[in-house]
Structure 1
Amino acid sequence: MDVKSYMQTVGKQAREASRVIARADTNQKNRALQAMAMAIRRDAAKLLEANMRDMEHARSSGYDTALLDRLQLTDRTIAGMADGLEQIAALPDPVGEIDGLKYRPSGIQVGKMRVPLGVIGIIYEARPNVTADAAGLCLKSGNAAILRGGSEALHSNQAVAACVREGLEAAGLPATVVQVIATTDRAAVGELITMKDYVDVIVPRGGKGLIERITGEARVPVIKHLHGNCHVYVDDRADLAKAVKIVENAKTQRYGTCNTAESLLVARGVAATVLPEIGKMLADKGVEMRCCPEALAILKDAGIAADKLKAATEQDWYEEYLGPIIAVKVVDDLDAAMTHINTHGSQHTDAIVTEDYGRARRFLREVDSASVVVNASTRFADGFEYGLGAEIGISTDKIHARGPVGLEGLTSQKWVVLGDGHVRG
């Protein structure tokens, strides 16, 4: 295959399809989404069979546990894909909304209309559910999509793509509104991220290496987050029972996600009381703790198994483990915790456990992250839990979109002016 020629064709088709989907009405887009969901439910067995082929290849290739976890489809995740598409259909259509329309002294009305970005290129690893989520979100927000999944999920992605195409055609929309790249050649990525004439924005979803490459080489704007070093800080005015519950969920509910807690900070005033309980819970779940000297001493004295304790290095405060490891540090107070987070964190998601309203408000204001959480798990930081229906990814950038990127994040605004023969004097 001539990859450059193939990608140019895909780009041209996407640009043409973007003009069709931009003018599609809400009912037509929703019909496509509902038809996609029906096809995914109907073809669940085919999706599982395709995924089994990918899983077997991934295991034989020696992929790590975190990637295998993201790659695997189950009856539950397939149902979740279909549910997500139906939830996107139920969401208000942002396209065409006009905000802030007001009269000016001249008599004209001025406001801002929400419009699609155009063509969105999405590059992702492992997760086949992204194929459905991305297709649905781009469609509802009036954008054409070019999806390039990883080679490890080739069969799964193509099986989901067949359901997507069926849904588009059922609603009378071109199949080229959502195109899933058919080649695993890495050169396709290089072409996609430099096609300024055809692609308006790139969204990478995957490991740090992939995102660093995309950010460094792209000639198209990128919406991204590099990694997720998420913190839970247990304040000395925390409800300690809440703290144990929140840390357990934030760290152990799933290890391979970007909103999993990778660092635990505990105020010195409660460290001797709460750390042994948290440490026992984490050790029982097989989590290794990489600790500052003070935390290490407290946990050793509490009888935590030595094989679950290790002295932290400086690098541990920055690390995204994506596995059963957590960095643990005792800090002086709220100010020390916020300084640590703002210095070592990834600006993704950080949480405080406290019963002090003033401290909670300070944490919300002063921690410079895309999502800041009070008395809840960091695992809530995703589009579904935020009511977005699904997400295209998480952005830790500060311009255009920040946090989970849903429908609104895939649109822009343009100024609109309404007059009735008005001319400027």
Structure 2
Amino acid sequence: SRPNVAADAGVLCLKSGNAVILRGGSDSFRSCRAIHDCLVQGLREAGLPQGAITLVPTRDRAAVGLLLTGLGGAIDVIVPRGGKSLVARVETEARVPVFAHLEGVNHVYVDQAANLEMAKSIVLNAKMRRPGVCGAAETLLVDCKGAPTLLKPLIEMLLDAGCEVRGDDSVQRTDARVKPASDEDWDTEYEAAIIAARVVGGLDEAIAHIHDHGSHHTDAIVTEDQAAAGKFLNEVDSAIVLHNASTQFADGGEFGFGAEIGIATGRFHARGPVGAEQLTSFKYRVHGTGQTRP
């Protein structure tokens, strides 16, 4: 994990009553070690066990393999934060539950009933506020019935903002600067100022596209049609679905969780931002006075 993730993870796990083993990325090894030293100092001063937050003291990737085995039942859950190769390996090899998202192939669907100025604001923010975060939009879908008035302003806005647009035939016709989209573009998390864009035949086709190409992370609809919004929010099977809001709200802090350890896209009880509550398990404590079941 990156240094800021190491700090968040250590604190969240402690707050939720868990011990945590941190394994920093090789490129941030020294930074993670310095942050861990600070966390240990805090544990010591608070009178808490210093072993509650430990750091794997090596860059050797063999350590990852040992952690994935569950260390003989000592590990309850693994949270991979890092590159796609790491997350894919963890999901393939882990012998304990995993809170993970492999990638954020996120969509903004602009419906025929969208307000143009709102759509421009949301699309620009969703893509360009921070293109490298997991909540950034990677694909723009525009309803064919609204395309005559909505498509060209949206594409020109993105291009003028310095965003490369890779589009289908309809999108390419709106501006000579648009590059043709390949089949791979619909499945790509760019994490850069690049967006794929296409015109779809309506709400059902937009939902089908997201089902086929999305990553169950974060997807948004822009529309003034409440029925269309309701259908989108019900049928798009993503951890976070938004109506008339930017995908970049996919963040534990924005959800009021404080820090987060990641965005879970699986179907565990923890889905979306994973904060202290999601890291907390539960048990039943039953107090009796000699009762028997008839």
- What range describes the TM-score normalised by the shorter chain of this pair? over 0.9
Give the C-alpha shift of residue 174 in structure 1. 1.4
| Residue from 67, 76, 81 that aligns with 1:205 | 81
| TM-score, with length taken from structure 2 | 0.96
Q: Residue 172 of structure 1 aligns with which residue?
A: 47
The 8 Å contact of residues 231 and 345 in structure 1, kept in 2 or not, is answered as yes
Q: Residue 261 of structure 2 aligns with which residue?
A: 392
Check if 1:332 corresponds to 2:201: yes
Check if 1:217 corresponds to 2:93: yes
Q: How many angstroms apart in 2 are the aligned matches of 1:412 and 1:293?
A: 50
Q: Residue 12 of structure 2 aligns with which residue?
A: 137
The 8 Å contact of residues 237 and 354 in structure 1, kept in 2 or not, is answered as yes
> How big is each residue's C-alpha offset from its partner over 1:279-314, in whole Å with a ceiling of 9 and x where there is no partner?
2222222211110111111233xxxxx3xx211111
| Residue from 133, 139, 164 that aligns with 1:288 | 164
**Secondary structure at the counterpart of residue 273 of structure 1:** helix
Give the C-alpha shift of residue 278 in structure 1. 1.9
Q: Count residues with an aligned counterpart.
A: 293
Root-mean-square deviation (Å): 1.2
Check if 1:373 corresponds to 2:217: no
Q: Residue 311 of structure 1 aligns with which residue?
A: 180
Which consecutive segments of 4 or more residues in structure 1 shift more than 4 A?
Answer: none
Q: Residue 106 of structure 2 aligns with which residue?
A: 230
| Residue from 214, 226, 233 that aligns with 1:357 | 226
Query: Where do residues 27-38 of structure 1 align in structure 2 (5 Å cutoff)?
Result: none
Give the C-alpha shift of residue 392 in structure 1. 0.9
Q: How many angstroms apart in 2 are the aligned matches of 1:424 and 1:360?
A: 49
Give the C-alpha shift of residue 261 in structure 1. 0.2
The 8 Å contact of residues 147 and 179 in structure 1, kept in 2 or not, is answered as yes
Query: Where do residues 48-127 of structure 1 align in structure 2 (5 Å cutoff)?
Result: 124=1, 127=2
**Secondary structure at the counterpart of residue 290 of structure 1:** strand
Query: For residue 234 of structure 2, what is the amino acid of its counterpart?
Result: R
Q: How many angstroms apart in 1 are the aligned matches of 2:287 and 2:165?
A: 61
Give the C-alpha shift of residue 159 in structure 1. 1.6
**Secondary structure at the counterpart of residue 256 of structure 1:** coil
> How big is each residue's C-alpha offset from its partner over 1:327-382, in whole Å with a ceiling of 9 and x where there is no partner?
10101111111111111100000000001111111111011100000000000011
Check if 1:424 corresponds to 2:293: yes
| Residue from 270, 273, 280 that aligns with 2:149 | 273
Q: Residue 117 of structure 2 aligns with which residue?
A: 241
Q: Residue 196 of structure 1 aligns with which residue?
A: 72
Query: For residue 364 of structure 1, what is the amino acid of its counterpart?
Result: L
Q: How many angstroms apart in 1 are the aligned matches of 2:160 and 2:114?
A: 23
> How big is each residue's C-alpha offset from its partner over 1:165-218, in whole Å with a ceiling of 9 and x where there is no partner?
111111101111001222111111111111132111100011211111111111
The 8 Å contact of residues 272 and 298 in structure 1, kept in 2 or not, is answered as no
Unaligned runs of at least 5 residues, structure 1: 1-123, 301-305
Give the C-alpha shift of residue 256 in structure 1. 1.2
Q: How many angstroms apart in 2 are the aligned matches of 1:188 and 1:173?
A: 26
Give the C-alpha shift of residue 413 in structure 1. 2.3
Q: How many angstroms apart in 1 are the aligned matches of 2:225 and 2:93?
A: 46
Q: Residue 135 of structure 2 aligns with which residue?
A: 259
Check if 1:414 corresponds to 2:280: no
Q: How many angstroms apart in 1 are the aligned matches of 2:273 and 2:22?
A: 19
**Secondary structure at the counterpart of residue 281 of structure 2:** strand
Q: How many angstroms apart in 2 are the aligned matches of 1:165 and 1:278?
A: 50
Q: How many angstroms apart in 1 are the aligned matches of 2:278 and 2:117?
A: 37
Q: Mean Cα displacement is larger for which, 277-286 or 181-190?
A: 277-286
The 8 Å contact of residues 168 and 174 in structure 1, kept in 2 or not, is answered as yes
**Secondary structure at the counterpart of residue 215 of structure 1:** helix
| TM-score, with length taken from structure 1 | 0.67
The 8 Å contact of residues 275 and 299 in structure 1, kept in 2 or not, is answered as no
| Residue from 53, 60, 65 that aligns with 1:185 | 60
Unaligned runs of at least 5 residues, structure 2: none
Q: Mean Cα displacement is larger for which, 265-274 or 128-137?
A: 265-274
Query: For residue 39 of structure 2, what is the amino acid of its counterpart?
Result: V
Give the C-alpha shift of residue 276 in structure 1. 2.2
Give the C-alpha shift of residue 277 in structure 1. 1.9
% identity of equivalent residues:
54
Q: Which is greater in Rg?
A: 1
Q: How many angstroms apart in 2 are the aligned matches of 1:346 and 1:295?
A: 23
Q: Mean Cα displacement is larger for which, 146-155 or 275-284?
A: 275-284
